[in-house]
C-alpha cells in the first residue's frame, strides 16, 4: 500500500484549501445548475393590471367600426393568453372587480388557459382608477413570488385609459416600484394625451385603436419571453470580478440585501449613492429613486453567484477548523 500521508503533509496549506474550495465550488455550481433547471431560469412571470373603470365603456376605433375599450382589451387579452404556453406564470388583477379576492381575477400562478379565458370574458367596466394601490398590490405579489423563485423575467403590465384617482398613493409608492428590478410596462388606451407614467416606467405604448392595442400587447409578451431566455451570468460576474476587495465585499452585501419585501414609501438605503443619478434625477424627485431601475428579470445569476461565494466560504472555514483539530 502506498503511504500518501507524507505527501499530503508536504503540500502547503493554501494549496490544500484551494483544492478543497475549488471542489466545493464545483459541487455548488452543479447544485445551482440543477436548481436553475428545476425553476426554469428562462420562465416569464407576468401580471396584467387591467383598468376596469367606468371610462372603459367608452368606444374606440376597430376594423369593423367602434367598440367599447373594455371589449377591445378583452379581445386582445383573449388572443394573447390563448397563445401562451400552458404553465406560464400569469396573473390578472382588476382595479375594481374581484373584490372578494383583493382584485385578483386570475391569481398569479401557473396558467390554466381554459379557466383564464373564461374569467377574462366576465370582466365588466365600472368604478374608478385606483392605479397607485392596484400597482402596489400587483408588485407585492410579484416580489413575494420572486423571493421564493428568483429565476425568470418578472413583469407588471398596466393597461389603463386614464390617470390615477389615487394620485397621492401612486406618487408615494412609484419610486420604490420602479427600483425593484421588475419591468413595468404601460399601455395607454385611447388617451388624448400621454399618460403621466409614460416617462417614469420601463416602457410606454399608445393604443388608439384595436389594432395598435393588440400589437402593443403582443410585443410586450414577446419581449418577456425573449428576456427570460437570455443568460447574463458572465456579465454579472464581470461586475464584481474586477473590483478591489473592499468594493467587492460591499457589492456582495448589496446583492444579498432583501429586495423582495413589500413596496414601501421610501427605498431602503443600501449604503451608497450613485452621484450620476443625483445629478440626473428628474426635477422634484428623490435622487436615485424615481427613475426606472435597470430591468433585472435576469437577476437569477446574481443570486447564484452570491450563494456560490457564501457556500464556498462557509465550507472552506469548516474544513480548516477540522484540520486544525
How confident is the model at residue 142, as a pLDDT? 96
CATH topology for 44-228 is: Rossmann fold (3.40.50)
The whole model's pTM is what?
0.67
CA neighbor of 141 nearest in space, from 106, 167, 112, 171: 106
Q: How confident is the model at residue 304 (pLDDT cuts 50, 70, 90)?
A: low
- pLDDT score of 270 more than 50: no
What is the C-alpha R_g of the chain? Answer: 24
pLDDT, tens digit, for every residue of 47-101? 999 999 999 999 999 988 999 999 999 999 999 999 888 778 999 999 999 999 9
Whole-number Cα distances in Å, 182 to 137, 153, 178, 267, 294: 14, 8, 7, 15, 9
> Do the bridges between strand 65-68 and strand 203-207 make them parallel or antiparallel, or are there none, so unpaired?
unpaired
**Cα–Cα distance, 160 to 205 (Å, whole number):** 11
**Cα–Cα distance, 29 to 217 (Å, whole number):** 37
Cα dihedral sign, 104-83-199-235: positive
How confident is the model at residue 307, as a pLDDT? 64
pLDDT, tens digit, for every residue of 3-48? 544 444 544 554 454 444 544 444 445 444 444 434 454 588 999 9
**Cα–Cα distance, 69 to 75 (Å, whole number):** 10
Helix (H, G, I), strand (E, B) or coil at 251: helix
Q: What is the residue whose three cell numbers read 419610486?
A: 175
Are 69 and 190 contacting, i.e. CB atoms less than 8 angstroms apart?
A: yes
- pLDDT score of 256 more than 90: no
Q: For residue 312, which phi and psi values (nearest 5 degrees)?
A: -60, -45
**Cα–Cα distance, 325 to 321 (Å, whole number):** 7
How confident is the model at residue 292, as a pLDDT? 65
CB-based burial of residue 77 (10 Å sphere; 0-12 exposed, 13-18 middle, 19+ buried)? buried
Mean pLDDT across the chain: 75
Domain coordinates in residue numbering, the chain: 44-228
pLDDT, tens digit, for every residue of 119-144? 999 999 999 999 999 999 999 999 99
How confident is the model at residue 50, as a pLDDT? 97
Distance between start and end Cα atoms, the chain: 26
CA 92 to chain centre: 16
Please provide the DSSP assignment of 203-219 as one string: EEEEE-BHHHHHHHHHH
Tell me which long-range contacts 283-291 makes (C-beta under 8 A, separation of at least 24).
285/175, 286/175, 289/175, 289/176, 289/179, 290/174, 290/175, 290/178, 290/200, 291/178, 291/200
Amino acid at each position: 500500500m502506498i503511504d500518501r500521508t507524507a505527501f499530503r503533509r508536504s503540500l502547503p496549506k493554501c494549496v490544500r484549501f484551494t483544492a478543497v474550495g475549488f471542489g466545493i465550488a464545483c459541487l455548488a455550481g452543479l447544485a445551482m445548475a440543477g436548481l436553475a433547471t428545476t425553476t426554469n431560469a428562462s420562465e416569464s412571470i407576468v401580471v396584467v393590471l387591467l383598468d376596469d373603470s367606468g371610462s372603459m365603456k367608452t368606444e374606440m376605433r376597430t376594423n369593423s367600426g367602434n367598440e367599447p375599450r373594455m371589449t377591445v382589451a378583452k379581445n386582445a387579452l383573449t388572443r394573447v393568453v390563448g397563445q401562451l404556453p400552458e404553465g406560464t406564470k400569469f396573473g390578472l388583477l382588476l382595479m375594481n372587480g374581484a373584490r372578494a379576492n383583493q382584485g385578483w381575477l386570475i391569481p398569479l400562478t401557473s396558467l390554466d388557459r381554459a379557466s383564464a379565458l373564461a374569467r377574462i370574458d366576465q370582466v365588466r367596466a365600472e368604478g374608478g382608477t385606483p392605479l397607485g394601490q392596484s400597482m402596489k398590490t400587483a408588485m407585492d405579489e410579484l416580489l413575494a413570488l420572486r423571493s421564493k423563485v428568483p429565476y425568470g423575467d418578472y413583469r407588471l403590465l398596466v393597461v389603463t385609459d386614464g390617470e390615477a384617482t389615487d394620485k397621492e398613493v401612486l406618487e408615494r409608492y412609484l419610486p420604490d416600484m420602479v427600483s425593484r428590478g421588475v419591468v413595468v410596462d404601460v399601455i395607454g388606451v385611447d388617451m388624448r394625451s400621454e399618460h403621466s407614467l409614460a416617462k417614469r416606467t420601463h416602457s410606454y405604448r399608445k393604443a388608439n385603436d384595436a389594432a395598435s392595442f393588440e400589437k402593443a400587447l403582443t410585443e410586450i409578451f414577446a419581449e418577456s419571453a425573449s428576456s427570460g431566455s437570455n443568460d447574463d451570468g458572465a456579465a454579472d460576474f464581470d461586475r464584481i470580478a474586477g473590483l478591489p476587495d473592499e468594493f467587492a465585499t460591499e457589492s456582495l452585501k448589496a446583492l444579498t440585501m432583501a429586495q423582495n419585501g413589500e413596496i414601501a414609501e421610501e427605498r431602503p438605503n443600501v449604503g451608497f449613492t450613485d452621484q450620476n443619478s443625483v445629478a440626473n434625477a428628474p426635477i422634484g424627485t428623490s435622487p436615485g429613486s424615481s427613475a426606472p431601475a435597470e430591468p433585472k428579470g435576469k437577476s437569477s445569476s446574481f443570486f447564484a453567484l452570491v450563494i456560490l461565494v457564501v457556500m464556498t466560504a462557509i465550507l472552506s472555514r469548516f474544513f480548516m477548523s477540522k484540520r486544525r483539530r
